[in-house]
Amino acid sequence: MLEVQNVTFHYNTQEASTPPALRNINLRIQPGETVAIIGHNGSGKSTLTRLLAAILHPTQGEVRVDDISTTARGEDLWTIRQRVGVIFQNPDDQLVANTVIDDIAFGPENLGLPRHEIEERVQEALSSLELGASAQLPISDLSVGQKQQVAIAGVLAMRPRYLLLDEPTTMLPGHLVRSLLATEQRLARERGMAVIHITHFMHEVTAFQRVLVMHQGEILLDGSPSEIFSHADQLETLGLDVPMVTRLGERLRARGWQHLSDVILTPEQLKADLCSSNSSN
C-alpha cells in the first residue's frame, strides 16, 4: 500500500512566505487500484508524485511504501525503487541509453534479472507501446512523443507494483493514448499493479476507479468518476471541466430527458440511456 500521512511539503527554494506545495495530505492507495489525479498547473500533482517515488521527502508527516518510510536508506530504499515506477512529464529526464531496445532493457538489467527474463520483458514492453519496428533506432532520432513511448516501455519492463505516470499522454498521438489507458487497466486487473495517472484531459479520467482533485496543494475531492463529475459547478470554479459527454448529458436532462443517469461518463452510456428512455417513452 502507498500511504501518505499528514504530509506537508515546502521546497527549499520556495520563499518561506509562499504557501507550501503540499498541505496536510492524507492518502492511501491499495495494490490494484487505478487512480487519476487532476488539478490545474501548480496544484501539487508532480510534487506528490516525487514524494510517492521517494525522490523528495516530506517537510512534515510521512510517506510509506508497503510500510517502508521513503526516508529509508540502503536495502529498504532499493526495495522502494523497485516497487515504485515513475514516468515523468519530460521523457528526456529519464532516457539513458543510445537505442530504444537498450533503453528499455536498462531497468531490468539493473534489477539483475536472468537474460531470458530481461528479453521477455523487453519484448512485452516493445509490443505494448507499439515500438517493435523502432527497437534498433537511436534515441536521438526520435520525436518527443516516441521518446515518451520509450520511457513508458522502460518503466513497464521493470514491472513495478505501483506505477506513477505524470501527464504521460500530453505528447502521445490519440491511438497510443487509448492503448496506454487500456494497458494501465489491464496491468491493474491482471498483475494487481496500482496505477496513478496524472492528466489534464477529463475524458481519460473516466477509465479510472478513483479520481483525486488537487487544488493549492490539497486534495479537495476524492471519489469515483461519477461522484467527482457530479460536482460540475465546483470543478468549474476551480477552472476544471467535466467530460464533454457528461455536459451533454446534463443539458439533455435539463431539457426534459429525465430518464438519463445523473452523471454520464462515456458516449456508450449516453447512447444506452437514450435508447432505453426512448423505448420507455
Binding residues for Mg ion, rule: CB under 5 A, are 45-46
d(Cα 156, Cα 86) in Å, to the nearest integer? 10
What distance separates the 2 farthest-apart alpha carbons in the chain? 67
β partners of residue 11: none
Q: Which is nearer to Mg ion, 9 or 106 (CB)?
A: 9
Per CB under 6 A, the list member of 25, 34, 36, 39 interacting with ligand ADP is 39
d(Cα 207, Cα 221) in Å, to the nearest integer? 17
Q: Which is nearer to ligand ADP, 88 or 208 (CB)?
A: 88
d(Cα 48, Cα 215) in Å, to the nearest integer? 12
Q: Based on the shown chain and the rule CB under 6 A, indicate whether residue 71 belongs to the binding site for ligand ADP.
A: no
Using CB distances below 5 to 8 A depending on partner kind, what does residue 21 bind out of Mg ion, ligand ADP, none? Answer: ligand ADP
Using CB distances below 5 to 8 A depending on partner kind, what does residue 14 bind out of Mg ion, ligand ADP, none? Answer: ligand ADP
The stretch among 27-35, 36-44, 99-107, 141-149 that binds ligand ADP (CB under 6 A) is 36-44
β partners of residue 164: 86, 196
Q: Based on the shown chain and the rule CB under 6 A, indicate whether residue 21 belongs to the binding site for ligand ADP.
A: yes
Q: Which is nearer to ligand ADP, 59 or 230 (CB)?
A: 59
Shortest spacing between CB 41 and Mg ion, in angstroms: 7
The stretch among 7-15, 25-33, 106-114, 155-163 that binds ligand ADP (CB under 6 A) is 7-15
Number of residues that bind ligand ADP (CB under 6 A): 12
Q: Which is nearer to ligand ADP, 44 or 107 (CB)?
A: 44
Q: Based on the shown chain and the rule CB under 6 A, indicate whether residue 44 belongs to the binding site for ligand ADP.
A: yes
Shortest spacing between CB 203 and ligand ADP, in angstroms: 19
Shortest spacing between CB 22 and ligand ADP, in angstroms: 8
Residue with cell 532516457: 95
Per CB under 6 A, the list member of 6, 24, 42, 78 interacting with ligand ADP is 42
The stretch among 35-43, 80-88, 105-113, 155-163 that binds ligand ADP (CB under 6 A) is 35-43
Q: Collect all residues with Cβ–Cβ distance below 8 Å to 255 and sequence separation of at least 6.
A: none
Kindly report the CA angle at 88 between 146 and 57, in degrees rounded to 5? 165
Q: Which is nearer to ligand ADP, 40 or 186 (CB)?
A: 40
Q: Based on the shown chain and the rule CB under 6 A, indicate whether residue 161 belongs to the binding site for ligand ADP.
A: no
Q: Which is nearer to ligand ADP, 21 or 252 (CB)?
A: 21
Using CB distances below 5 to 8 A depending on partner kind, what does residue 56 bind out of Mg ion, ligand ADP, none? Answer: none
Q: What residue ranges bind ligand ADP (CB under 6 A)?
A: 11, 13-14, 21, 39, 41-47
